[in-house]
Each structure stands twice: as C-alpha cells, then as structure tokens.
C-alpha cells in the first residue's frame, strides 16, 4: 500500500511518496511554481493510481484547479479557464480553499474565496456554482477574517448525495439537505467572542476555522473555532463546547481519526494575538472520548516553535496504525506513524505551508 502526501505552499505544491511504513519519503516539486496552493485532494475512489488535485492561484492568471493521474508528472486543468462565477455575479474567484470528493463517483466539491461552494460532476474537469448558497439572503452580512472570506470546509454526507455541510469564515456553518436548493445556518451554541456580549450567540456570523466528521458517524461534527472547540451530535443543529482541558481553545485544524470516530486531534495556538503554540511548545492534543478529555503529544517535535499550523495543514491517513501529518508556516512538515504519539521531520525549507493532504493507494 502506497502513501502520497500533498504539501501546498505559498509558492507551489510538493508531492511526497512513501510505502505503508512511512519511514522513507521522496518528494518532487515545486509543482505549480510560484502559485499559492491552498487546497489539495488525493482521490483514490477509482483504485490504482489516485487522481491528485491542486487548487492553485497565480497573481497573474488567477485561480485554477489542476489534476494529475501520474503523481504530478503531467497536469490537466479545469476547462473554460478555471472556477469562474457566471456572468452577472459581480464577483471574481481569488483562491480555491477546499477540494473534497463527493458521495458519488466523479463528484468533486470546491470552496472558494469569496465565499462560494462549487460542484463538479465530471471528476474536476468543470465546476458549477451552488447558486442557492450564493443567493442566500444572509450572504451580504457575512464578514471575513484575516485570511479573507472563504468556504474552507465542505463536508458531503458520506451516504446522502443531497446533503452537504459547509463552513465559512466569517459566516458560520450551513447545511443543505435538498441538493443545494436551500441552505440553513447550523450554529446554535457556537460563541462569537469578537461580538458584543449580548450578541455572542448569533444565528450566523461565527468565525469557524474548520469542521470535520467521521464517515461512520456523519451526525457527529467537530469544530475548531476562533475561540472554542465544539462537538455537535445532531449534524450541527446544536453545539457543545469541548475545549475544557486544552491550554487554549484557539487554533485552526481539527482532525478525526480515520478508524475511531471518538478520537480527534487539535493543534492549539496561544490566541489571535499570538499565533504560535502556548509557551512556543508545539503539542498535538488528542481526545479519545469525543472531547471529554485531552492528552498532549509532542515527542520529536521542536523544542520551540513560533509559527502556526493552518486549518488544512494537518491530516490523517487511513493506515493501521494511522499516520498524522502537520505542516507549519516555517516550511516544515512533520509526520507521525503511530497515531500522533511520536513525530519526525520529513521535509523542511519549503515556502509557507498552507495545506497538507494525504491518501493511500494500491501500489
């Protein structure tokens, strides 16, 4: 069983390959040189060599979704000049923040800046705007965080093609159950600390940093917010804070274990004013009971660490034992082959890492 790791940076994408032991890695790159790569996807639904994607953005040519069926030796790109708003939308796509496989073969979802969700039904060759969400009456009131207004999370339901959950900074969590015709906010119980005290639990407008779930338990969602780590047991209908026991409830990524739906990982940062780990000590915190308690792990990580790990720069593979990966804004990528207990550096001296995505394949 092979392993492929996509590392998206501010100046291109690197592709790493290893076997199931994940001890030795070979990297190629940069692919999409001097383009920002905020998103990646390893689509292994077809078996054999996976199709790998990059959501790249050039300051000269704009954003483009590209894919490769030969581990980056050759690339193709979305037809018609990329992911583009239809005429009359009065908007221009700036970045592709998210790429996710759908519940049906050939379906690929994308989330962009400005805040929009897109669907491809031909394996990424073309994308169509989810008009129902773009026309949502709350959209004009969505704000934007320091990173811009972006749908950074798109979670297709694993068995129901008509259901998708998406999250945006700063707008909150939204869900459709009718194939995108209508979308409802799903933010009850999520606190917005940046609002006045009497307004801190709004219907929408929360600064969600990332949402995840396990396919075997799709009704349970986990969220890392701009202040607050949350769990929902009713697919976002209500949320409970599970941040007690963490050194900080501020951070960007949240990752669910591929085989254990009650096991999750976060990478806490000191806060919005100090976006590096508390006391500059990098630790990955793991909960094995759905957020009731937390344990820190960091053996092999640096002694001091003054950079952040972004929302899509931590991920897990589906080997047994599972591997975890995190990429930092100092151009380093760290890997654990024992479910986050011990870590080692597998590549360094890259540009600012924005996304890390992993997949496995027969080979």
Query: Among 111, 152, 104, 142, which Cα is nearest to 129's?
Result: 111
Q: What is the Cα–Cα distance from 94 to 183, expressed in whole angstroms? A: 23
pLDDT of residue 274: 81
The answer to whether residue 81 scores a pLDDT higher than 90 is no
The answer to whether residue 360 scores a pLDDT higher than 80 is yes
pLDDT tens-place string over residues 121-156: 999 999 999 999 999 999 999 988 777 899 999 999
Domain count, the chain: 1
The whole-model pTM stands at: 0.96
Q: What is the Cα–Cα distance from 164 to 51, expressed in whole angstroms? A: 22
Show the domain range for 250. Answer: 2-361
Q: What is the Cα–Cα distance from 55 to 71, expressed in whole angstroms? A: 15
Rounded to 10 degrees, the C-alpha dihedral 69/74/78/83 comes to 100
pLDDT of residue 143: 85
The answer to whether residue 60 scores a pLDDT higher than 90 is no
Going from the C-alpha of 97 to that of each of 43, 133, 148, 149, 319, the distances in angstroms are: 17, 17, 10, 10, 26
Q: Which CATH number is 79's domain given?
A: 2.130.10.10
pLDDT of residue 327: 98
């Amino acid at each position: 069983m092979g392993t492929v790791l996509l590392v998206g940076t501010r100046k291109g994408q690197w592709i790493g390959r290893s076997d199931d032991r994940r001890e030795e890695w070979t990297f190629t790159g940069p692919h999409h040189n001097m383009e920002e790569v905020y998103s990646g996807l390893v689509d292994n639904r077809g078996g054999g060599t996976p199709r790998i994607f990059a959501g790249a953005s050039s300051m000269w040519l704009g954003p483009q979704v590209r894919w490769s069926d030969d581990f980056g030796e050759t690339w193709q790109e979305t037809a018609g000049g990329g992911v583009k708003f239809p005429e009359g939308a009065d908007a221009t796509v700036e970045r592709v923040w998210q790429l996710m496989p759908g519940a049906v073969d050939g379906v690929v979802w994308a989330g962009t800046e400005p805040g929009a969700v897109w669907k491809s039904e031909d394996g990424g060759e073309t994308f169509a705007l989810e008009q129902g969400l773009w026309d949502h009456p709350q959209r004009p009131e969505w704000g934007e965080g320091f990173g811009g207004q972006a749908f950074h999370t798109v979670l297709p339901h694993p068995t129901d093609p008509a259901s998708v959950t998406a999250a945006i900074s700063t707008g909150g969590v939204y869900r459709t159950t009718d194939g995108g015709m209508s979308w409802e906010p799903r933010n009850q119980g999520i606190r917005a600390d940046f609002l006045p005290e009497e307004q801190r639990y709004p219907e929408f407008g929360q600064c969600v940093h990332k949402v995840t779930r396990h396919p075997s338990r799709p009704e349970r969602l986990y969220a890392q917010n701009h202040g607050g780590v949350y769990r929902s047991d009713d697919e976002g209908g209500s949320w409970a804070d599970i941040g007690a026991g963490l050194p900080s409830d501020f951070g960007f990524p949240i990752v669910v274990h591929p085989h254990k739906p009650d096991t999750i990982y976060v990478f806490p940062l000191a806060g919005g004013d100090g976006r590096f780990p508390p006391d500059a000590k990098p630790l990955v915190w793991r909960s094995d009971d759905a957020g009731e308690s937390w344990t820190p792990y960091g053996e092999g990580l640096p002694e001091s660490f003054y950079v952040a790990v972004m929302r899509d720069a931590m991920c897990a593979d589906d080997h047994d034992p599972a591997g975890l990966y995190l990429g930092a804004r100092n151009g380093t990528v760290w890997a654990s082959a024992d479910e986050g207990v011990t870590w080692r550096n597998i590549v360094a001296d890259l540009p600012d890492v924005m996304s890390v995505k992993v997949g496995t394949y027969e080979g």
